A = this chain, B = another copy of it.
């Protein structure tokens, strides 16, 4: 029996525009090989930096492109080592590990179905040291799939300004929207002074190119650029130039539409399967992204369930890995096919219904 993975938060192979990216890589090297193949700016490939800057309406000097956006989080953790950072609960586990490895104290802030709980945030700001920044994934959050409501976005932007709180808005999933209205980003609402923005082309083009980026206050960009220089001199320009060529050819929007349709069918399959197979559970209903957040009924323990699930040919990540409650689980619908999703949820539901062997 083939294991069905709801654990892998990665795009299905058919989401990757393989042939086109091969052409783009060749064209990028042919067009600008002397730059792409040599050492260059530590902040990334200049034409892509310009493209990102224009998209976000900032000076290119504020843009840092890194070998995947996680690498930028490492630079932030180095820069703010030993300080305090506010994070969502639950949140993406890798940044938590990076922050901890740099002696950063993290304060988890509760969330509900509308995203970050701003009262809990205000309380965390009143107690303890002034935080270096708030790390938030307001749209189709990893792991919960939740999206911060528009009203709360306005309030959070205001709060960031008033309290001079640096907010890092991590937004890798925002463009992968299946339905509903696109809310304004915190970066747009606040104006980009207190809100820094990060994203990547992993979900919109291909993760293996490892092209993440940050739009930062100018001074902070310079500090992180110095860390980038000390770490790898120059990021891998061929990946960045391949992305730029893809953008330059006008492939971004049509590809995003194609990818979104592939993922929408998967999201639909998962929500329908949960509805029919696990009516007693609760789950998030994301309008985009990769993840559904499942709350198991009756205080079931997701960690214990996972041990049994592996034997039944289905896997997921327990919510506790992200700071969630013991009965929560992250189900990624991005990697598997709609048929596999239906079968995987059936396997999962059978396990949930089955009384635990004692």
Nearest-neighbour CB distance to chain B for A339, whole angstroms, equals: 19
A contact residues, total (Cβ < 8 Å): 48
> Would you list which residues of chain A between 36 and 56 have a CB under 8 Å from chain B?
36-40
Within the complex, which residue of B208, B209, B230 is in contact with A98, where a contact is CB–CB below 8 Å? B230
* A67 beta carbon closer than 8 Å to chain B: yes
Assess A209 versus B37: contact at CB under 8 Å? Given A97-B230, A98-B230: yes
Contact assessment for B231 and A74 in the assembled complex, using a CB-CB cutoff below 8 Å: yes
Assess A210 versus B235: contact at CB under 8 Å? Given A16-B34, A22-B33, A34-B18: yes
* A26 beta carbon closer than 8 Å to chain B: yes
Q: Which of A236-244, A266-274, A320-328, A344-352 contacts B (4 or more CB under 8 A)?
A: A236-244
Q: Which residues of chain B are near A28, meaning CB under 8 Å?
A: 22, 25
Please give me the residue from chain B that is nearest to A18 by CB atom: B33
Assess A230 versus B101: contact at CB under 8 Å? Given A26-B26, A29-B21, A236-B239: yes
In the bound complex, what is the Cα–Cα distance between A206 and B209 (angstroms)? 18
Contact assessment for B16 and A22 in the assembled complex, using a CB-CB cutoff below 8 Å: no
* A207 beta carbon closer than 8 Å to chain B: yes
Q: Which residues of chain B are near A206, meaning CB under 8 Å?
A: 37-38
Most buried by B among A30, A39, A70, A235: A39
* A13 beta carbon closer than 8 Å to chain B: yes
Nearest-neighbour CB distance to chain B for A116, whole angstroms, equals: 25
In the bound complex, what is the Cα–Cα distance between A258 and B315 (angstroms)? 52
Q: Which 10 A-B pairs have the closest CB atoms?
A: A18-B33, A22-B29, A26-B26, A236-B236, A25-B25, A37-B206, A37-B208, A22-B26, A210-B236, A22-B30
> What 10 additional pairs, Cβ within 8 angstroms, besides A210-B237, A239-B239?
A10-B38, A11-B38, A18-B34, A25-B238, A38-B207, A39-B207, A40-B208, A68-B234, A97-B230, A210-B235
Q: Which residues of A contact B (CB under 8 A)?
A: 10-11, 13, 16, 18-19, 21-23, 25-30, 33-40, 67-68, 70-71, 74, 94, 97-98, 101, 206-210, 230-239, 242
